[in-house]
């Protein structure tokens, strides 16, 4: 089993990113290692330039995401954690795979249509985004791609392109399977429990950032909105606020939803909110410390990424060579 995950480099990370992302990557690492397989975690910085971006922000977001990946538990020795642009094969594979991808397929991609709509400048990169992604996956002879539901179509395209290439130029790629994990707790904004916790939208007071100081976290939970009634029960329809807090408690402590309900049976909202805040402070403290250490020692962080790049290069190089060779390119004399 070989697992490949692509992680977008983007702004401030939140508790929502922990629940739906970082936490799951660590679980993936353990599973891959446990089953004698390998897991690749790639910070997909080349994908970041398909929509408007600032160079300085890209640099910061890339280092920040990488630091969070390590800080929350990915291990450079047991997994391969690397930055996409460090492996030139990704850009090259995307170009070569363009020969096996049709304009019509790309034009049908829902994400392209959504992201292009109403934009003044739609880059060629945005159109080609799925080809770059196909290269990411195929270069590593990936068997399993854990991926969000919104990426289903891109994975289907990857499989189609791989099959077309194999038929046209000879067996080169492994056809990957998608895996659509039950998204764990989809953590909501503490002030607006009907929307996901995200830094780009919604009340900032309801957004717990990975880097928030303990007192800031406590204050955000203290002011979290609750619901009418006074029972601490998980009922997302009728009690979105309390249900969100129960889910956060479950994520922070590893307890089941039912255990949280049982423990707070008959307790008041005020004390519960305080306890959830405290649990999150405790959850994040070691991650924050490790994150700060890594950000203070950029050389160390980049060394860790270099370990990943070395392994990624060994894994992807032969596939890229095979692609050039089968397509009829004359190799340079060495
Ligand atoms: N497109 C993915 C997303 O938006 C990120 C990604 C890029 C990816 N390359 C990948 C995911 C390869 C899995 C495998 O989340």
Nearest to 90 by CA among 145, 45, 51: 45
Both 141 and 162 in a single domain?
yes
CB of 8 shorter than 6 A to ligand 1: yes
Is 99's pLDDT higher than 90? Answer: yes
Both 216 and 128 in a single domain?
no
Which letter, b or e, does each residue of 3-33 get, where b requires 16 or more Cβ atoms within 10 Å of its Cβ? bbbbbebbeebbbbbbbbbbbbbbebbeebe
Is 185's pLDDT higher than 80? Answer: no
Q: Total domain count for the chain?
A: 2
Is residue 187 within 8 Å of residue 244, measured between CB atoms?
Answer: yes
CA of 300 to the centre of ligand 1 (A): 26
CA of 45 to the centre of ligand 1 (A): 10
Nearest CA to ligand 1 atom 10: 6
* CATH code at position 89: 3.40.50.620
In a domain, 197, yes or no: no
Testing ligand 1's pocket by substitution, the residue of 43, 47, 134 carrying the most ligand atoms inside 8 A of its CB is: 47
pLDDT in tens, 242-274: 999 999 999 999 999 999 999 999 999 999 999
pTM here is 0.95
In a domain, 90, yes or no: yes
CA of 47 to the centre of ligand 1 (A): 8
Range of the domain at 264: 204-293
Is residue 98 within 8 Å of residue 157, measured between CB atoms?
Answer: no
CB of 40 shorter than 6 A to ligand 1: no
Both 39 and 25 in a single domain?
yes
In a domain, 333, yes or no: no
State the pLDDT at residue 91.
98
State the pLDDT at residue 180.
87
State the pLDDT at residue 200.
85
156-175: average pLDDT = 98
In a domain, 189, yes or no: no
Both 289 and 303 in a single domain?
no
Testing ligand 1's pocket by substitution, the residue of 5, 44, 136 carrying the most ligand atoms inside 8 A of its CB is: 44
Which numbered atom of ligand 1 lies nearest the CA of 154? 1
Nearest CA to ligand 1 atom 6: 6
Both 209 and 312 in a single domain?
no
In a domain, 246, yes or no: yes
CA of 91 to the centre of ligand 1 (A): 14
* CATH code at position 225: 1.10.240.10
pLDDT in tens, 214-236: 999 999 999 999 999 899 999 99
CA of 280 to the centre of ligand 1 (A): 28
Both 21 and 150 in a single domain?
yes
In a domain, 82, yes or no: yes
In a domain, 268, yes or no: yes
Is 87's pLDDT higher than 90? Answer: yes
Both 174 and 210 in a single domain?
no
pLDDT in tens, 276-329: 999 999 999 999 999 999 999 999 999 999 999 999 999 999 999 999 999 999
In a domain, 88, yes or no: yes
Strand ranges in the chain using DSSP code E only, listed in sequence order: 2-7, 38-43, 80-83, 144-146, 177-179
Nearest CA to ligand 1 atom 5: 6
Both 213 and 105 in a single domain?
no
Both 209 and 248 in a single domain?
yes
Both 116 and 252 in a single domain?
no
Both 164 and 213 in a single domain?
no
Strand ranges in 214-309 using DSSP code E only, listed in sequence order: none
Torsion sign across C-alpha atoms 222, 228, 234, 235: negative
CB of 46 shorter than 6 A to ligand 1: no
CB under 8 A, 24+ apart: contacts of 60-63: 61/9, 61/10, 61/11, 62/9, 63/295, 63/298, 63/301
pLDDT in tens, 41-78: 999 999 999 999 999 999 999 999 999 999 999 999 99
CB of 65 shorter than 6 A to ligand 1: no
CA of 148 to the centre of ligand 1 (A): 9
Is 183's pLDDT higher than 80? Answer: no
Both 264 and 308 in a single domain?
no
């Amino acid at each position: 089993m070989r697992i490949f995950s692509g992680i977008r480099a983007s702004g401030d990370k939140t508790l929502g990113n922990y629940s739906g992302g970082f936490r799951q990557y660590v679980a993936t690492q353990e599973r891959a290692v446990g089953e004698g397989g390998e897991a690749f975690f790639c910070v997909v910085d080349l994908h970041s330039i398909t929509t408007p971006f600032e160079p300085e922000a890209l640099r910061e977001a890339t280092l920040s995401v990488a630091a969070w990946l390590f800080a929350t538990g990915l291990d450079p020795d047991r997994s391969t954690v690397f930055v996409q642009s460090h492996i030139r094969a990704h850009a090259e594979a995307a170009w070569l795979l363009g020969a096996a991808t049709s304009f019509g397929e790309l034009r049908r991609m829902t994400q392209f249509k959504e992201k292009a709509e109403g934009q003044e400048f739609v880059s060629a990169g945005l159109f080609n985004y799925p080809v770059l992604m196909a290269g990411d996956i195929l270069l590593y002879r990936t068997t399993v791609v854990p991926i969000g539901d919104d990426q289903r179509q891109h994975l289907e395209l990857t499989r189609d392109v791989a099959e077309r290439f194999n038929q046209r130029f000879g067996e080169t790629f492994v056809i990957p399977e998608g895996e659509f994990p039950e998204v764990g707790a989809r953590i909501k904004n503490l002030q607006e429990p009907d929307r996901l916790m995200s830094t780009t939208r919604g009340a900032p007071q309801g957004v717990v950032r990975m880097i928030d100081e303990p007192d800031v976290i406590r204050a955000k939970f203290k002011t979290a909105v609750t619901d009418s009634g006074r029972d601490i029960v998980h009922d997302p329809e009728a009690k979105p606020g309390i249900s969100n807090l129960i889910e956060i408690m479950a994520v922070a402590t590893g307890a089941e939803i039912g255990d949280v309900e049982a423990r707070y049976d008959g307790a008041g909202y005020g004390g519960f909110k305080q306890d959830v805040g405290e649990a999150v402070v405790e959850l994040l403290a070691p991650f924050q410390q490790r994150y700060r250490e890594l950000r203070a020692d950029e050389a160390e962080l980049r060394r860790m990424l270099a370990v990943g790049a070395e392994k990624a290069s060994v894994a992807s190089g032969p596939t890229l060579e095979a692609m050039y060779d089968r397509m009829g390119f004359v190799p340079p004399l060495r």
